[in-house]
Chain A
Amino acid sequence: MIELNGNNTLIFSDLPEVIAKRWHGQVRASLDVKEFLCLIECEASHVPDLCNWLFSELGYSLASLIIEELPSYWLLRYVFYGEPGSGQIHVSLQSSKSEKTIPSISRFVHTADWFEREAEDLFGLVFEGHPRLGDFVLHEEWPEGVNPMRTAFDASCPYIHRELDPDWRPHRIVKAPGAFMMPIGPVFSDAAESAHFLLETVGEDVIRTIPRFFYKYRGVEKIAEGRSIGRALLLSERFSGTSAFAHSLAFCQAIEKIFRIDVSVRVRALRIILAELERLRHHIAAIAAICNSTAFAVATSQASILEEEALRLTCTLTGHRYLFGLNAPGGLSMDFSEQAFRSLADAVYKLFNKLSELKEMLRFSSSFLDRLEEVGIVSRELAFAYGLVGPIARASGITRDLRKVLPYSDYENIAFDVPSEQEGDGYARLRLLFSEAEQSINIIRKVALSMPEGEVTPPRFEVTPGSALGWAEAPRGATFHWVRIRGDGRVGRYRLTTPSFTNWHGFHLASEDFAFQDFPIIMATFGLSNAECDR
């Protein structure tokens, strides 16, 4: 295990030298200082060792695997990010169309596990050395060999399925006497998102949980292709409605990079306010869900009152309760008055006091804490190995936050803390939600009371073909949006990597060897979205 916060943190500008020293002449590295990006081009055979080296020796996390089908070759891009100051590394690999196998990196970088499974299902690329490929995004009624992300696939009409095998049964691993498999979902609980969990249990004790997702797969990446930027923006906002602003922000930042649009300081400041307002509302809702999972009705009601107040506050300020219709490439759809900022600052301060009171009351409710403590533990080592992001990773002691690591929208000019906890259990995750909500309130107040002047209307820009990566720290963690714009100004490729996808991959770590009644609590303290994961 490498030391994440050691004193010998890598300096970004030293990267080419470090790479040249280790990989003499086998790879080509180039540095884009303005974008804080190191691009490494290499052959397929070097990819596993190179990614392994970046992950286990330099301490970079894998952010995303971006695959593009270009007319004559496959373009694979492994995106890495690290500690503050270490920038981002893109490992780029060109593979001929005739070549259908790519070496798997998931045995070294476990985060890649689901990325590779997804790519095998949607593109038909085989990752050699991956232990488990097959039905993942597309369920068993899709015939093998039909890959919807291929450019030749017609996405406009419904796809006709094959007949299901009536004798199909899930694969069972636990073979103890009395062991059985309990299915949960996809339609379950009160208003839960559609997902399926197979719990292998022996009586009350659940040995392991096998999640099965993508019931909500809407093929967003595919249906975005060929759409205008304005209509793709609608998709980026609406594929995950509870974190709409963060995702549309990542999308807009990618577009702004492609067309080199300068965004005014006022827009950047406003985006910080709105993104933090979304985080605040999301975290309050997550706290309410945790109270609800322990059937603590009074606390659920108290937290829910704050949630509705945050929703109404958002709607009063922006016209929409979930911040839809605000972001636009280069600007925002509306501006706000000085008076609006003052009342926002007052309103979030009131929320701060109410949240603090709720936190203190929960902190001394022992019957509630008994349900959360030492439940659903994710260790720091495993959180790093799985590349977990957001509040879940920070509750396990990994403090990587894109607002600090790869600052965007002027976050580097604002002083704030990235809270973290060490235990990695349900209670640590609850405390972390409270601390992050407090930080968000501080940021909103700071920015709202010193708002710079400027224009918010998006400038006119010239549409040129190109591609870029946009990112944001969404309420649930890091999100990366890769956008390629074609010559006709329409979207050629829209790759979405979301925190829920990354973190659901690690869900089974927290849901092994637990008592059955803790399942809803583990789910609630993870607080992930299937809409965000499935896309």
Chain B
Amino acid sequence: MFKWVLKGLKTGIVTTLYPDKDESAPGASPGLPVGQKDNKEEVLSVVSRCPTGALSRYDHQITVDYELCVHCFRCVRRIKDPIDWQNGYEWAASTAESAAGGHKLGKAFRRSLHIRVVDAGACGACLSEIEQINKPYYNMHRLGFFITPTPRDADVLLVAGPVTDHMRMPLKKAYDAMPTPKGVVAVGTCALSGGVFGPSFASGAGVSELIPVDIMIPGCPPPPLAIIHGLLVMVERRRSSSLTSPKSQAEGRHHV
């Protein structure tokens, strides 16, 4: 077993410095499209190429709705006037009415949080990215975040997937089993809006149809850093981002 200890020492620390410093390693995030002024007529063709309706044109502005964007890259590739692209990862947004209040967990949870992951019909990519935050490159334990096997020990429910018909009851039961105060983080475009699957006969239009959602993390899938950002927003250690680009009147709206 000694060789494993040596191997571990030799490997050193690979963990990201985020949130103390920004992560700039190539390939850590796929990025997202950003809205822009449509001062050129050609830009309109970009909007029509979006298969999910994430792009729309409003008041001489192209806006991006991150709740619908699925990273299909059709607005940037093989097109004459591609839309602008940003390479960040701080994408998570709080659904609280105002920045002043509405966070349910309060100060007591700022330093440590126990998380239960629920797969409500995710494709596997979101779950894989959630697993990464538990691994050396992201190591969420250093931030006081832990994954727990039972909802009865959990402060936060991390839900991925559009909520399939058959997962409605297990998800509701897991939520009800959690002690209060409790929070819900919806991970990925499917969990926000149903994505490419819902709403339909077999899946819903996101987690908020069934249980109240506090933090929304867009992305298909959101990279591990975006998930960490969402958890930090949950405990008010990081500021909330916006679910639209540019920030607009649609800000702060809720799902019905």
Q: Which of B5, B30, B126, B198 contacts A241 (CB 8 A)?
A: B126
Complex alpha-carbon distance, A287 and B135, angstroms: 14
Complex alpha-carbon distance, A321 and B72, angstroms: 12
CB <8 Å contact, A190 and B149 = yes
Query: Known: A216-B164, A312-B26. Is A241-B221 also a contact (CB below 8 A)?
Result: yes
Complex alpha-carbon distance, A158 and B223, angstroms: 30
Query: Please, what's the 1-or-0 string for A433-446, where 1 marks a CB less than 8 Å from any CB in chain B?
Result: 00000000000000
Say if the beta carbon of B34 comes within 8 Å of chain A.
no
Query: Please, what's the 1-or-0 string for B3-21, where 1 marks a CB less than 8 Å from any CB in chain A?
Result: 1110110010010000000
CB <8 Å contact, B200 and A156 = yes
Query: Known: A189-B149, A190-B147, A361-B7. Is A242-B124 also a contact (CB below 8 A)?
Result: yes
CB <8 Å contact, B170 and A187 = yes
Say if the beta carbon of A271 comes within 8 Å of chain B.
no
Which chain B residues lie closer than 8 Å to A428 at the CB level? none
Say if the beta carbon of B122 comes within 8 Å of chain A.
yes
Chain B positions within 8 Å of A, measured between CB atoms, are 1, 3-5, 7-8, 11, 14, 25-31, 51-52, 70-74, 77-78, 116-132, 134-137, 147, 149, 151, 161-162, 164-167, 170-171, 173-174, 195-204, 220-221, 223
Residue contacts A-B, CB under 8 angstroms, 28 given: A148-B201, A156-B200, A157-B201, A158-B200, A158-B204, A159-B201, A187-B119, A189-B149, A190-B117, A216-B167, A218-B197, A223-B202, A234-B52, A235-B196, A240-B123, A241-B122, A241-B128, A242-B125, A244-B125, A302-B11, A304-B132, A305-B135, A311-B132, A312-B25, A324-B70, A325-B74, A365-B4, A531-B123
CB <8 Å contact, B4 and A299 = yes
CB <8 Å contact, A194 and B4 = no
Tell me the minimal C-beta distance from A50 to chain B in angstroms: 34
CB <8 Å contact, B220 and A215 = no
Which chain A residues lie closer than 8 Å to B31 at the CB level? 319
Complex alpha-carbon distance, A354 and B211, angstroms: 44
Tell me the minimal C-beta distance from A70 to chain B in angstroms: 22
Nearest neighbor of B171 in chain A, beta-carbon distance: A187
Say if the beta carbon of A219 comes within 8 Å of chain B.
yes
Q: Which of B7, B132, B174, B202 contacts A302 (CB 8 A)?
A: B7
Complex alpha-carbon distance, A304 and B4, angstroms: 15
Q: Which of A148, A187, A302, A333 contacts B77 (CB 8 A)?
A: A333
Which chain B residues lie closer than 8 Å to A315 at the CB level? 26-30
Which chain B residues lie closer than 8 Å to A216 at the CB level? 119, 121-122, 161, 164, 166-167
Complex alpha-carbon distance, A159 and B202, angstroms: 8
Q: How many A-B residue pairs have CB under 8 A?
A: 219
CB <8 Å contact, B71 and A148 = no
CB <8 Å contact, B165 and A158 = yes
Q: Which of A192, A298, A322, A333 contacts B4 (CB 8 A)?
A: A298
Q: Which of A186, A192, A320, A529 contacts B167 (CB 8 A)?
A: A186
CB <8 Å contact, B149 and A325 = no
Complex alpha-carbon distance, A358 and B166, angstroms: 40
CB <8 Å contact, B200 and A305 = no
Which chain A residues lie closer than 8 Å to B7 at the CB level? 298, 302, 361
Query: Known: A299-B4, A316-B27. Is A305-B202 also a contact (CB below 8 A)?
Result: no
CB <8 Å contact, A215 and B164 = yes
Chain A positions within 8 Å of B, measured between CB atoms, are 139, 148, 153-159, 161, 186-194, 214-220, 222-223, 230-231, 234-235, 238-242, 244, 285, 288, 298-302, 304-305, 307-308, 311-316, 319-322, 324-325, 333-334, 361, 365, 367, 457, 529-532
CB <8 Å contact, A238 and B170 = no
Q: Which of B128, B173, B204 contacts A285 (CB 8 A)?
A: B128
The 5 closest A-B pairs by CB, nearest first: A241-B125, A312-B27, A219-B202, A315-B27, A241-B123
CB <8 Å contact, A156 and B26 = no
Query: Known: A324-B72, A529-B124. Is A186-B196 also a contact (CB below 8 A)?
Result: no
Complex alpha-carbon distance, A407 and B30, angstroms: 32
Q: Which of A217, A230, A305 contacts B51 (CB 8 A)?
A: A230
CB <8 Å contact, A155 and B170 = no
Q: Which of B116, B124, B136, B199 contacts A531 (CB 8 A)?
A: B124
Complex alpha-carbon distance, A319 and B33, angstroms: 12
CB <8 Å contact, A215 and B122 = no
Complex alpha-carbon distance, A313 and B149, angstroms: 31
Tell me the minimal C-beta distance from B49 to chain A in angstroms: 9
Nearest neighbor of B26 in chain A, beta-carbon distance: A316
Complex alpha-carbon distance, A457 and B74, angstroms: 13
Tell me the minimal C-beta distance from A191 to chain B in angstroms: 4
Nearest neighbor of A190 in chain B, beta-carbon distance: B147
Tell me the minimal C-beta distance from B197 to chain A in angstroms: 5
Nearest neighbor of B202 in chain A, beta-carbon distance: A219
CB <8 Å contact, A319 and B124 = no
CB <8 Å contact, A214 and B166 = yes
Which chain A residues lie closer than 8 Å to B201 at the CB level? 148, 153-159, 219, 222
Which chain B residues lie closer than 8 Å to A308 at the CB level? 132, 135-137
Which chain A residues lie closer than 8 Å to B52 at the CB level? 234
Complex alpha-carbon distance, A139 and B170, angstroms: 13
CB <8 Å contact, A187 and B72 = no
Complex alpha-carbon distance, A239 and B195, angstroms: 11
CB <8 Å contact, B170 and A307 = no
Which chain B residues lie closer than 8 Å to A365 at the CB level? 1, 4
CB <8 Å contact, B77 and A215 = no
Instruction: Apart from A187-B116, A234-B51, A240-B123, list 18 A-B contacts with CB within 8 A.
Output: A155-B200, A191-B134, A191-B147, A194-B118, A215-B170, A216-B121, A218-B200, A219-B203, A238-B125, A241-B124, A244-B123, A301-B136, A308-B135, A312-B27, A316-B26, A319-B30, A319-B73, A361-B7
